[in-house]
Amino acid sequence: MDSRQPQIFSFQVSGEEAEELEAAARNAGMKRSEYLRRKVLPPVSNEAPADIIKLLRHMIYILARIHSALYCIPERQQTLTTEALQAIYDDTIKSAREYIAHLDEHLAAAASDGTDEIE
């Protein structure tokens, strides 16, 4: 089958089903063929689903916190107690939130200077 040439599919429905399809397409503001295509075929999109974006943003947030914490540890003390580690972890929340809030700016800066370093 040549994918560049339009193909015609035909199938039979009852009169009642035809009326339902026509009404649904009309209510959706579409032609019947477009309405049926959207019902049968998966949506075509270059955008990632919102849940993937949410997950990626959370992963970047966690990585930013880890990054900040690594630099805080030697500054705090040589030997760390559980409480000290928790304090460091808690302190990184603010910097990680600031980082994620300005993520687009960080990515743009890294892209403009041609490096993979994102600050």
Amino acid (1-letter code) at residue 100: I
84 or 22, greater pLDDT: 22
Given a contact cutoff of 8 angstroms between Cβ atoms, the answer to whether 32 and 59 are in contact is no
The pLDDT of residue 14 is above 90: yes
Q: Which residue has the higher pLDDT, 16 or 51?
A: 16
Range among 7-11, 47-51, 86-90 rated most confident = 7-11
From first CA to last CA, the distance across the chain in angstroms is 51
pLDDT for 85 beyond 80: no
Integer Cα distance of 31 and 37 in angstroms:
10
Rounded Cα–Cα distance for residues 108 and 101 (Å): 13
Confidence (pLDDT) at 25: 92
Using CA atoms, how far apart are residues 56 and 50, in angstroms rounded to an integer? 10
HSE-CB at 97 with a 13 A cutoff on CA atoms is 6
